Structure 1
Amino acid sequence: MATPKCSPFPFHFITLSLLLHSIIVSSVVLVLRNHHHNNGGYHRSPMLQTNGSYCSLFIGTWVRDETFPLYQYSCPIIDPEFNCQMYGRPDTDYLKYRWQPANCQIPRFNGAQFLMRMRGKSVMFVGDSLGRNQWQSLICMISSGISASSPTQITRGDPLSIFKFLEYGVTVSFYRAPYLVDIDAVQGKRVLKLDEIRGNGNAWTGVDVLSFNTGHWWTHKGTLQGWEYMEAGGTLYQDMDRYMAMERGMRTWAKWVDSNIDTSKTRVFFQGISPTHYNPSEWNTGGTVSSTSKSCYGETMPMTGSSGFPGTFPDQMKVIEAVIGSMNKPPFLLDITLLSAMRKDAHPSIYSGDLTPEQRANPDHSADCSHWCLPGLPDTWNQLFYTALFFLH
């Protein structure tokens, strides 16, 4: 039970009826293989047919490939916090890995083909900075496949940033909504409205391809917390169990999708939780811890030979599974959690923009082990997004 705190707002005490589904995970690998196995579109395992057989896109290994990366760090859309090579990262091996599913080859990304298939249409990423990571990656991947003289236009804003490939009439946008549900200002305080989404949802209508993500901001506290109060059932709360709050917000989002999206016209994706690598003691690397640091700093190679999920399986992912599994119109789950968990080498670390010499000298406190370098891992997310968008039926 969440307890309201005295404030200028009118409060009353009620019992908040939020039932968080219990998901018992006896084997994480089994869970990952069974994400999509029961009924409905969400439960079907994302399979790509090849030579009469099938394979799961999200179970596999990382293999070295000298044809990578697909673009260079000079791509002008990349934010400083993602541009590791520009800000001094000395190694480049992390750019040379390709995701190889268990028993099939996925099609190589082709920027020109993407634009021709999407001519006159729109793509929008909705969520937090991991969505922005993927948005910038996709723009760079597309741009590398077309003439540099092909006209483009960018409009940056908050919450909406828009990039247009004018020759093709294709729009690729990012809408910042870390919680998906609305945040409103009430008497100078930010209120996270777990039951309301119309303010954000109005911006998502009419888009041809929507890709959502949420998760990390639900657990932020202190200066990183994005609200002063939560509101549920008409009552304001200073705090509550964060995973219960996330589920309530996710169910509001799910109802909006089921009620407002015509899936015959709009493709909907949901990105799995992007893992962090702040605690090397959690990394399963065959019984040894390869890092001498307390973060991803100095890591240069993916994990190999893991017999299970490397690290701690994100609790936010259990909430996402429960909510999406109950939807009438479930989105395609871009299940990047396991394959990303293996990439402790792919974070910006201390090469995330203009850090001071003091910050760079203290990576245990300043290394970014949450976002990802560009070029880098989000390119694989988009390779799988491309595969699911055009090659899965």
Structure 2
Amino acid sequence: MATPKHSSSSSPSSFTSHFIIVLAIILLQYSGNIVTVSSVLLVGLKNHNNNNVHHRRPMLQANQSSCALFMGNWVHDDTYQPYQYSCPIIDPEFNCQMYGRPDTDYLKFRWQPANCQIPRFNGGEFAARMRGKSVMFVGDSLGRNQWESLICMISAGLPAASPTQIIRGDPLSVFKFLEYGITVSFYRAPYLVDIDSVQGKRVLRLGDIRGNGNAWTGVDVLSFNTGHWWTHKGALQGWDYMDVDGTLYQDMDRLVAMERGMRTWANWVDSNIDTTRCRVFFQGISPTHYNPSEWNAGSVSTAKSCYGETMPTTGSTGYPGIYPDQMKVVQVVLSSMNKPPFLLDITLLSAMRKDAHPSIYSGDLTAEQRANPDHSADCSHWCLPGLPDTWNQLFYTALFFLH
């Protein structure tokens, strides 16, 4: 699971903006810290008609008004919930309604990007377009969060009798929509690079990804994520030693280690992925909400977690909290790639959703844990149905409507 800790960084206080229309990315610079906000120029999505949106083919045009896909606001909307909590693929730790969450308003907010409308997810349309193809999410449990959401969203758009198959394993789990020949997989690799067992010790190979990478070849759509596990310490740490060029270290600066590992991954993508046949995405860092003082600036709060939060953050003039240091590493590495993936930049929009975590409504908690939310609330992962459905709506938009 993602770490119940925050990484610290300075809060940005001012910015200068500039456009670089390369792979549709806008860079906003906050006091020397570059905050990447992927934006796209969506011609044909602005003021679209929902009835025919799936028949329209928007194109990128630099001379038209732009839609900042990952900048906007959450608006209340009672009309849309893509699936029910009875979707059988949802892990207990994400199934908040099944495990007693009493409120439902967190399900009734729609992401509204600046200056455009985006198509609602259509599971039947997704299946038809992806017939015979494969999608794989690679990374940690935040990737699994999105993987399960996507399966439920596709399933909700297909007939109940449409045959499916699931094969759960570690590191690879595969869900198949048999009628369409579609596979939607999750490959667990929280660091992306390899971990080997050497004399009973776990060695994190910062310069080696061949073991994991072999499983990712031949996939039509790849979506990667990493970040949270790099800061784990103590019992949550996933390795005993780090290997750098043949030398073993018991520890090192975690962000330096993450950058080394991500550069190994980036070199693998640049060398092994044919981007004419494989679409590559990278999921931005999913924020946590363990410190109410970060989103309640100036107020005194006795709470110590996201427990009891039922509404998104509103009226913020900047990033609501501490911008993740790991995201800065992601930006630096992606900007250096020859074939950079599409950045699914969900960090800011997710930071506004302090209300959307499982908190104590997670299936693996005991009664004693539920009675002590300050120590047991999960403010890292997200409820399903919930926020990852928006990630997938944006994934859907980028996959089918941006060219």
Q: TM-score, normalised on structure 1?
A: 0.90
1:342 and 2:352 correspond: yes
Partner of 2:329: 319
Unaligned runs of 5+ in 1: 1-22
| Aligned mate of 2:39, from 23, 38, 45 | 45
- Deviation at 1:368? 0.1
Match of 1:193 in 2: 205
Q: 1:208·1:267 contact (CA, 8 Å) conserved in 2?
A: yes
For the residues of structure 2 that align with 1:54 and 1:38, how far apart are their CA atoms? 10
Residue by residue over 1:202-257, the C-alpha shift from the partner in whole angstroms, topping out at 9 and shown as x without a partner, is: 00000000000000000000000000000001100000000000000000000000
In 2 relative to 1, CA 78–331 (structure 1 residues): closer, same or farther, beyond 3 Å?
A: same
Report 1:8-87 matches (<5 A): 26=12, 37=20, 39=22, 45-50=39-44, 51=46, 53-87=65-99
Computed over aligned residues only, the root mean square deviation of the Cα atoms, in angstroms, reads 1.8
Select which of 289, 311, 317 maps to 1:307. 317
1:194-343 correspondence runs (5 A): 194-283=206-295, 285=296, 287-288=298-299, 292-343=302-353
Asked if 1:142 corresponds to 2:125, the answer is no
Q: How does 1:54-203 map to 2 (within 5 A)?
A: 54-203=66-215
Deviation track 1:303-335 (CA, whole Å, cap 9, x = no partner) reads: 000000000000000000000000000000000
Structure 2 CA distance for aligned equivalents of residues 159 and 28 of structure 1: 43
Distance in structure 2 (CA, Å) of the matches to 1:279 and 1:28: 23
Any conservation in 2 of the 1:28–1:308 contact (CA below 8 Å)?
no
AA aligned opposite 1:266: C
Residues 41 and 299 of structure 1: CA distance in aligned 2, closer, same or farther (over 3 Å): closer
- Equivalent-residue separation in structure 1 for 2:23 and 2:281 (angstroms): 15
- Structure-2 separation of matches of 1:186 and 1:213: 26
**1:8 equivalent in structure 2:** none
Distance 1:310 1:27 in 2: 12
Residues 184 and 381 of structure 1: CA distance in aligned 2, closer, same or farther (over 3 Å): same
Distance across 1 between alignment mates of 2:188 and 2:163: 25
Q: Identity of counterpart residues, as a percentage?
A: 79
Three-state SS of the structure 2 residue aligned to 1:58 is strand
Amino acid at match of 2:362: S
Q: Which residue of structure 2 lines up, in the alignment, with residue 362 of structure 1?
A: 372
Q: Secondary structure at the match of 2:144?
A: helix
- Structure 2: gaps (5+ residues): 1-8, 27-37, 47-63
1:334·1:385 contact (CA, 8 Å) conserved in 2? yes
Specify the SS of the correspondent of 2:305.
coil
CA deviations over 1:333-385 (Å, ceiling 9, x no partner): 00000000000000000001042111111000000000000000000000000
Within 1, Cα distance between the matches of 2:209 and 2:353?
34
d(CA) in 2 for partners of 1:293 and 1:113? 43
Does 263-272 or 38-47 show the bigger shift? 38-47
Residues 39, 237 of structure 1: CA spacing in aligned structure 2 closer, same or farther, 3 A cutoff? Answer: same
Distance 1:353 1:139 in 2: 20
Q: Is the 8 A contact 2:10 2:322 kept in 1?
A: no
| TM-score (norm. length: structure 2) | 0.88
- The match for 1:5 is none
**What is the CA-CA distance between 1:56 and the residue it aligns to?**
0.7
The alignment partner of 1:109 has SS state of coil
**1: CA distance, partners of 2:294 / 2:369:** 24
Q: Partners of 2:337 and 2:262 in 1: how far apart?
A: 11
SS at structure 1 position matched to 2:238: coil
Q: Retained in 2: the 8 A contact 1:45–1:56?
A: yes
Paired residues of 2:307 and 2:377 also in contact (CA < 8 A)? yes
Which residue is equivalent to 2:52?
none
- For 2:74 and 2:183, the matched residues in 1 are separated by 31
Three-state SS of the structure 2 residue aligned to 1:248 is helix
